């Protein structure tokens, strides 16, 4: 299957022995000049990259107080060392969060602290944990800052709350600013700016795809559930990851959203201009890029004249939406203030369930025993609904409302301690398959526990990246690629559409054929 | 890493996808498949040809449901699913079949 070894799933997860340099060879493809320039970055490595990179560190530390604080306050206590899935899966000590931070921290120390400057001039910067910025250091950055999915699990265990994700984002922005960008993220961002979504699905393809879904659902249920596009004056704008249009099991989730909207009797639409919930601007740490992408959603909402914005199942989109959208692209005073701006599709469905407005036949999902994978950006980067921990409780409540069999994975691998799927933060690309597979190890161990102990057959998620990543990596660990399902796929299976033709009528239809 | 077919060299990207869509010929598709240990059968060509037709109209590869539906219509319902497509293209019908069809690789959260 591949030219690396899949780690073995252990009965009891263990902290592995160190293998220095085990992943030093891992490097994603570099973005071509045209994609760099589209985002306002230099096309290739600048001649004076070193000076520019040092300058950029200064710029970032003054713009983001958090970056400077995180670089200053680490006391090397070691609490984070065994918390990163990439360290646990690769044994490479540079994948310990503290070591990953230190790749940038040592350069920051050299050029921005008194001790670093002093001992640097004496030629012994390492005496105070500082280091010169060299090409080797830059190469290390490129390698190891693309072995971080910005999942923030380490920050939960850090007594100071140091967030390695912010360090990774800063490092990627520094690299972009000197002309070294990652192909996967930056090409995708180019497509969002030109076409409107990560996949590059133009409007006619989108319309054709949605029309096909309407036919499929009608054939399946006898109900004309609509999947509207660019409908002016609709009440709700649904913004969802473009993978929902394109891939499995994502599309089954999208089918589910449509059925929920149909049953709720609300008018809704998607937008071909803002046909992407995801915002890779966050992954590359570029505020300007993130803002450009977010403003598309604002423009679509205004142009279509909607009253509410609902986000589909996408992890980092929800972090950007819940935590940053208002300051990035707000104010949203043109929307109906009676609803949260924005609202998560799980929240939308959950509220209808609470109000008794949705009916389910849970037995439709009886062939499965489910568990829920908390996606990192939802779990640790946002909330959901009006109560604390809603981001954990609401998706579980939705699953339990539509399924009879549900079991949680081990407590130290879920909710705020959830393990990343291994493909987040801009790593979901084939050229990083080794780190993706190895990084999935802790999640797979948690899954294996409930598969073996509780007969779990499937895991559900609310993130397009998680879904694609699991589809790819589950088979490496001996599980089925279709074990991963969308939460709204489960809703879709169980929901009873009140205007569905009665069973007798369907039967008589069949017999007349 | 360019690919050589019938004495002519064609440029590809890092992952072996054809750089220039218009240069594609069925022989290039066959050569790419052979390199990855796949012998293209009529069943493969049904998919590849559909991808190319769809791309010509929409400038993007078809979504999985569009593809399975079209294949199901042509070859029968038992083949209109992604299980069948994965049997033909074990690395994923989207990515592997697109490559042989000379189309760019679909990227995003897929």
Here the ipTM equals: 0.96
**Residue appearing with tokens 């992407």:** A276
Local structure of A268: helix, strand or coil: strand
**Across residues A241-264, what is the average pLDDT?**
98
DSSP state of A82: T
**Residue appearing with tokens 């998620």:** A461
**Across residues A224-240, what is the average pLDDT?**
98
Find the range with the poorest average confidence among A52-56, A223-227, B72-76.
B72-76
User: In this predicted model, what pLDDT tens digit does every residue of A390-405 receive, in sequence order?
Assistant: 999 999 999 999 999 9
pLDDT of residue A510 exceeding 90, the answer is no
DSSP state of A27: -
> CA A8, CA A1: separation in Å to the nearest integer?
15
**A478: CB partners within 8 A, 6+ apart:** A9
Which architecture characterizes domain B3-100 according to CATH? Orthogonal Bundle (1.10)
pLDDT of residue A1 exceeding 50, the answer is no
Contact B65 A205 (CB under 8 A): no
pLDDT of residue A145 exceeding 50, the answer is yes
Instruction: Compute chain B's Rg from CA coordinates.
Output: 13
Percent of chain A predicted with pLDDT > 70: 97
End-to-end CA distance of chain B: 24
Domains in chain A, please, with CATH?
Answer: 33-181 (1.10.1060), 189-407+456-494 (no CATH)
- Provide the pLDDT for residue A286: 97
**pTM for the full predicted model:** 0.96
Nearest in space to A68 (alpha carbons), one of A184, A188, A194, A162: A162
Query: Could you give phi then psi for residue A289, rounded to 5 degrees?
Result: -70, -40
CA separation, residue A340 to residues A24, A65, A278, A337, B107 (Å): 45, 29, 19, 7, 32
- Out of B1, B58, B109, B110, the active site residue is B109
**Residue appearing with tokens 């070894």:** A5
B98 is catalytic: no
- Provide the pLDDT for residue A513: 39
- Provide the pLDDT for residue A11: 83
CB nearest B60 (choices: A187, A202, A429) = A202
- Provide the pLDDT for residue B50: 96
Please indicate if any CB of chain A lies within 8 Å of the CB of B42: no
Contact A199 B95 (CB under 8 A): no
**Residue appearing with tokens 């005496």:** A127
> CA A421, CA A460: separation in Å to the nearest integer?
12
User: In this predicted model, what pLDDT tens digit does every residue of A263-311 receive, in sequence order?
Assistant: 999 999 999 999 999 999 999 999 999 999 999 999 999 999 999 999 9
Contact B94 A243 (CB under 8 A): no
Contact B109 A314 (CB under 8 A): yes
Confidence band for A440, pLDDT divided at 50, 70 and 90: very high
Contact (Cβ atoms closer than 8 angstroms) between residue A146 and residue A432 = yes
> CA B77, CA B68: separation in Å to the nearest integer?
9
pLDDT of residue A503 exceeding 80, the answer is no
Find the range with the poorest average confidence among A271-275, A309-313, A441-445, B74-78.
B74-78
What residues of A are in contact with residue B15 (Cβ under 8 Å)? 29, 430-431
pLDDT of residue B1 exceeding 90, the answer is no
Contact (Cβ atoms closer than 8 angstroms) between residue A402 and residue A490 = yes
Alpha helices by DSSP H, listed for A178-279, are 183-194, 203-221, 243-246, 250-264
Confidence band for A3, pLDDT divided at 50, 70 and 90: confident
- Provide the pLDDT for residue A399: 98
């Amino acid at each position: 299957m591949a030219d690396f070894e899949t780690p073995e799933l252990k009965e009891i997860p263990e902290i592995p022995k160190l293998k220095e340099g085990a992943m030093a060879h891992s490097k994603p493809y570099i973005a071509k000049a045209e994609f760099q320039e589209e985002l306002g970055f230099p096309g290739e490595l600048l001649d004076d990259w070193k000076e520019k990179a040092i300058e950029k560190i200064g710029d970032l530390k003054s713009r983001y107080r958090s970056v400077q604080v995180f670089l200053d306050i680490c006391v090397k206590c070691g609490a984070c060392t065994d918390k990163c899935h990439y360290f646990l899966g690769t044994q490479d000590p540079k994948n310990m969060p503290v070591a990953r931070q230190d790749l940038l921290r040592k350069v920051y120390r050299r050029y921005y602290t008194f001790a670093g400057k002093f001992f640097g001039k004496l030629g012994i910067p390492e005496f105070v944990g500082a280091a010169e910025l060299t090409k080797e250091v830059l190469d290390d950055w490129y390698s190891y800052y693309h072995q971080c999915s910005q999942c923030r699990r380490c920050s939960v265990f850090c007594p100071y709350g140091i967030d390695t994700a912010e360090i990774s984002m800063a490092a990627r922005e520094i690299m972009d600013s000197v002309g070294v960008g990652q192909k996967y993220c930056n090409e995708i961002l180019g497509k969002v700016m030109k076409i409107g979504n990560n996949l590059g699905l133009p409007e006619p393809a989108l319309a054709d795809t949605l029309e096909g879904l309407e036919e499929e659902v009608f054939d399946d249920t006898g109900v004309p559930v609509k999947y509207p596009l660019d409908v002016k004056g609709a009440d709700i704008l649904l913004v969802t990851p473009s993978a929902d249009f394109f891939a499995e099991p994502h599309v089954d989730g999208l089918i589910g959203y449509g059925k929920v909207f149909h049953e709720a009797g609300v008018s809704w639409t998607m937008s071909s201009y803002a046909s992407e919930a995801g915002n890779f601007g966050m992954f590359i740490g570029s505020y300007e890029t993130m803002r450009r992408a977010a403003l598309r959603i604002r423009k679509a909402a205004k142009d279509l004249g909607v009253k509410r914005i609902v986000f589909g199942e996408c992890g980092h989109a929800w972090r950007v939406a819940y935590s940053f959208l208002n300051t990035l692209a707000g104010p949203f005073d043109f929307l109906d203030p009676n609803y949260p701006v924005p609202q998560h599709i799980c929240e939308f469905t959950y509220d209808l369930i609470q109000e008794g407005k949705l009916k389910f036949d849970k037995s439709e999902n009886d062939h499965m025993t489910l568990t829920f994978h908390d996606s990192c950006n939802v779990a640790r980067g946002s909330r959901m609904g009006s109560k604390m921990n809603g981001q954990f409780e609401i998706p579980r409540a939705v699953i339990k409302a539509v399924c009879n069999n549900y079991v949680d994975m081990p407590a130290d691998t879920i909710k705020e301690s959830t393990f990343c799927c291994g493909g987040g933060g801009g790593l979901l690309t084939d050229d990083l398959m080794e780190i993706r597979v190895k990084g999935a190890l802790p999640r797979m161990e948690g899954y294996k526990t409930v598969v073996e102990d509780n007969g779990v057959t499937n895991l559900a998620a609310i993130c397009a990246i998680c879904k694609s990543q699991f589809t790819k990596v589950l088979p490496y660990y001996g599980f089925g690629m279709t074990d991963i399902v969308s939460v709204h796929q489960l809703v879709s299976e169980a929901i009873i559409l009140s205007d569905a033709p009665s069973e007798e009528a369907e039967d008589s239809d069949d017999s007349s054929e | 890493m360019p690919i050589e077919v019938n004495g002519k060299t064609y440029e590809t990207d890092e992952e072996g996808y054809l750089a220039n869509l218009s240069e594609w010929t069925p022989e290039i598709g066959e050569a790419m498949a052979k390199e990855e240990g796949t012998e293209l059968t009529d069943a493969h060509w049904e998919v590849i040809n559909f991808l190319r037709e769809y791309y010509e109209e929409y400038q993007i590869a078809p979504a999985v449901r569009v593809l399975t539906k079209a294949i199901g219509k042509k070859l029968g319902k038992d083949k209109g699913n992604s299980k069948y497509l994965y049997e033909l293209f074990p690395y994923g019908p989207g990515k592997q079949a697109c490559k042989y069809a000379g189309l760019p690789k679909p990227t995003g959260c897929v």
